[in-house]
Amino acid sequence: MCGIFAAYRQEDVEKFKPEALQYAKRIRHRGPDWSGNVIQNSTILCHERLAIVGLDSGAQPIVSDDGNYSLAVNGEIYNHINLRDQFKSYKFKSLSDCEPIIPLFEKYDTDAPKHLDGMFAFVLYDKKNDRIVAARDPIGITTLYVGKNAKSPKTRYFASELKCLVDVCDEISAFPPGHVYDSNTDEITRYYNPVWWDETKTPTTKLDLKKIRESLELAVRKRLMAEVPYGVLLSGGLDSSLIASIAARETEKALSSQKAHAIDANHELSGVDESGSLHTTGWSQLHSFAIGLPGAPDLLAAEKVAHFIGTIHHSHTFTMKEGLDSLDDVIYHLETYDVTTIRASTPMFLLSRKIKAQGVKMVLSGEGSDEIFGGYLYFANAPSAKDFHEECVKRVKNLHYADCLRANKSTMAWGLEARVPFLDKQFLDVCMTIDPEEKMIKPSEGKIEKYILRKAFDTSDEPDVKPYLPEEILWRQKEQFSDGVGYSWIDGLKEAAEAAVSDEELANPKPEWGEDVPTTKEAYWYRCKFDAIFKSKAAATTVMRWIPKAEWGCHADPSGRYATIHEKKVDEV
């Protein structure tokens, strides 16, 4: 991951350059390793680099050998080895996983993003045709914003974070995932159109547990592409535990293969080759990281998983005061006032700082599973398989506003990159096309949430296969991250908000908020903090709040403890 800022058709671009560099500097936390910029015609591209792959020769913006194309990318391209094999006639200047985007664009034009496997946001400038093209990965794992200014109607601005644009743009929007912008048409169009995208069409593919297991293992393997120390975020819940277990196995296999074949990791492209084999460097043993208030459920479960899968585990705690003290910083980096996102991001933000201090630059995380498999406890009230599937698709489509935003920004605040295997394109195609009847939560039949994912990794009837997880973890009930770090975390936030916001203030929302009115003191408190940080009226237009599905009996408070099937319901806490 990195940070990018670009201005296309900027009047007097040389004079604007110092200003552009200051905007880019606002996201240097995303790329503390190096800064670069390129000016061609009236366009400037700025890049703040976090070096993960191609450490010695991956500086950006990348300029093509003929000088015509300049490219700034924030992300990781997992199929870069295969792309390099396809474009052997192209004169590559680096070992960067991002450089193949240039020959890919030369061949496929705006269809180029269709051929990328990874998480990315990029801006590519064509000097000869004075044309800029920008794109964002299919699900929106990597953040990107686009802006305009009424005083300069032909200029277009792009940035990894909102904070780069608030002073120069009076119109800002989150660049939609799975889309590409072309200055030739000045339009943003969808390039990602999987068969499951239309939620009204209920899939009928038969369940194949082996395919679920193998596709997730491949997704993890691809995301271990790195030339720096990496680890896993381990909450002790099903999703992060599965990712950690697979990562531990894949790391061990890759290192064994490297030793057996005397591979020189210092002169090897990092990534998965055409055969599916992983080439990587890093630590000889996987490290795992967890955080919570003292005695939190997640900490205890994470330690159990780490011991079982053999990671070097780091268990961190934070106090209520530390969490509350960091809220302003969290909202500054998240660029949202959504209650659910802020609750869950604060512990992740604190943990990321500790991880970076331990020398790690990349981690794997478990976001996306609940949306794909209907893992939130309110899905138990879905009236039909069709409704269940529609809700899954809608939640996946909105991940870029919530969990993806959280995973990206709370880690990148400290120059730590988070990769999310569950949102792999191939894995999504496998799991989003399964007959949703198989995903339904049916307690009377012993089918708890995410039953088929659990079953895919249940080796109880495979005596020759080492178990992936302890039985009690594989079948542990869903616990939302903001609950799992300690139930008193959410309770403490509510108490602080109660003290900060009066009844009168809650009853009289600010006129400029329009119809987006906070309904709780906690939501009101976060909105006021957001407004104090981002004073531009355009800033709030980029925010979308996670709205509970009330018609399925979903409580107005997003905590999983309010679900009727939760083992520790809120009235028992």
pLDDT tens by residue, 532-563: 999 999 999 999 988 778 899 877 775 544 45
The pLDDT, as a whole number, for residue 484 is 65
| 187-190, strands of its sheet edge to edge | 62-63, 69-77, 118-126, 131-136, 179-182, 187-190
Find, among 302, 348, 119, the residue nearest to 223 by Cα.
Answer: 119
DSSP E strands: which ranges in 156-229?
Answer: 156-159, 171-174, 179-182, 187-190
> How many C-beta neighbours within 10 Å does residue 545 have?
18
The pLDDT, as a whole number, for residue 573 is 36
Q: Average pLDDT of 212-225?
A: 97
Domain 2-190 has CATH 3.40.1190.20: no
DSSP E strands: which ranges in 280-382?
Answer: 287-292, 312-317, 362-364
Find, among 89, 139, 146, the residue nearest to 116 by Cα.
Answer: 139
Cα–Cα distance between 251 and 100 in angstroms, integer? 26
Confidence of residue 284 (pLDDT cuts 50, 70, 90): low
459 has a pLDDT exceeding 60: yes
In one-letter notation, the amino acid at residue 552 is W
How far separated are the first and last CA of the chain, in Å rounded?
Answer: 40
Find, among 18, 361, 8, 17, the residue nearest to 159 by Cα.
Answer: 8
Placement of tokens 């679920």 in the chain: 212
Is 233 annotated to bind a ligand? Reply is yes
Quick one: three-class SS letters along 73-106? EEEEECCHHHHHHHCCCCCCCCCCCCCCHHHHHH
User: Cβ contacts of residue 493 below 8 Å, gap of 6+?
Assistant: 323, 324, 343, 522
For 495-528, b/e burial (b = at least 16 CB within 10 A) is ebbeeebeeeebeebeeeeeeeebebbbbbbbbb
Cα–Cα distance between 337 and 334 in angstroms, integer? 8
Rounded-to-5 percentages of helix, strand, coil across the chain: 40, 15, 40
The pLDDT, as a whole number, for residue 274 is 75
Confidence of residue 570 (pLDDT cuts 50, 70, 90): very low
The residue ranking higher by pLDDT, 278 or 155, is 155
Q: Average pLDDT of 320-328?
A: 97
Cα–Cα distance between 516 and 518 in angstroms, integer? 7
Q: Could you tell me the residue ranges of all domains in the chain?
A: 2-190, 209-484
Find, among 425, 485, 426, 476, the residue nearest to 453 by Cα.
Answer: 476
Catalytic residues: 2
Of 136-150, 210-224, 476-490, give the lowest mean pLDDT range. 476-490
Summarize pLDDT for 241-272 with one digit per residue, the tens: 999 999 999 998 887 776 655 555 454 677 78
The pLDDT, as a whole number, for residue 480 is 54
Find, among 356, 323, 357, 355, the residue nearest to 342 by Cα.
Answer: 323
Find, among 489, 573, 482, the residue nearest to 293 by Cα.
Answer: 489
Cα–Cα distance between 33 and 508 in angstroms, integer? 46
572 has a pLDDT exceeding 70: no
DSSP E strands: which ranges in 234-327?
Answer: 271-272, 278-279, 287-292, 312-317
3-state secondary structure of 204: coil
Please check whether residue 327 is in contact with residue 346, taking contact to mean a CB–CB distance below 8 angstroms.
yes
The pLDDT, as a whole number, for residue 332 is 98
The pLDDT, as a whole number, for residue 56 is 72
98 has a pLDDT exceeding 60: yes
Summarize pLDDT for 490-516 with one digit per residue, the tens: 999 999 999 999 999 999 999 999 999
For 55-76, b/e burial (b = at least 16 CB within 10 A) is beebbbbbbbeeeebbbbbbbb
Predicted TM-score of the model (pTM): 0.93
**DSSP structural state of residue 552:** G
Please check whether residue 406 is in contact with residue 334, taking contact to mean a CB–CB distance below 8 angstroms.
yes
The residue ranking higher by pLDDT, 228 or 533, is 533
Q: In which element (H, E) is residue 325 found?
A: helix 320-325
Q: Give the CATH number of domain 209-484; options: 3.40.50.620, 2.60.40.10, 3.30.2230.10, 3.40.50.300.
A: 3.40.50.620
Looking at the chain, the whole-number percentage of residues with pLDDT higher than 70 is 92
Please check whether residue 363 is in contact with residue 416, taking contact to mean a CB–CB distance below 8 angstroms.
yes
Q: What is the mean pLDDT of the chain?
A: 92
Summarize pLDDT for 399-447 with one digit per residue, the tens: 999 999 999 999 999 999 999 999 999 999 999 999 999 999 999 999 9
The pLDDT, as a whole number, for residue 219 is 98
373 has a pLDDT exceeding 80: yes
Summarize pLDDT for 41-55 with one digit per residue, the tens: 999 999 999 988 877
The pLDDT, as a whole number, for residue 483 is 59
Please check whether residue 163 is in contact with residue 150, taking contact to mean a CB–CB distance below 8 angstroms.
no
> How many C-beta neighbours within 10 Å does residue 262 have?
6
Cα-Cα-Cα-Cα torsion 527, 533, 407, 353, nearest 10 degrees, comes to: -130
Is 365 annotated to bind a ligand? Reply is yes
206 has a pLDDT exceeding 80: yes
| Cis peptide bond N-terminal to 61, omega within 30 | yes
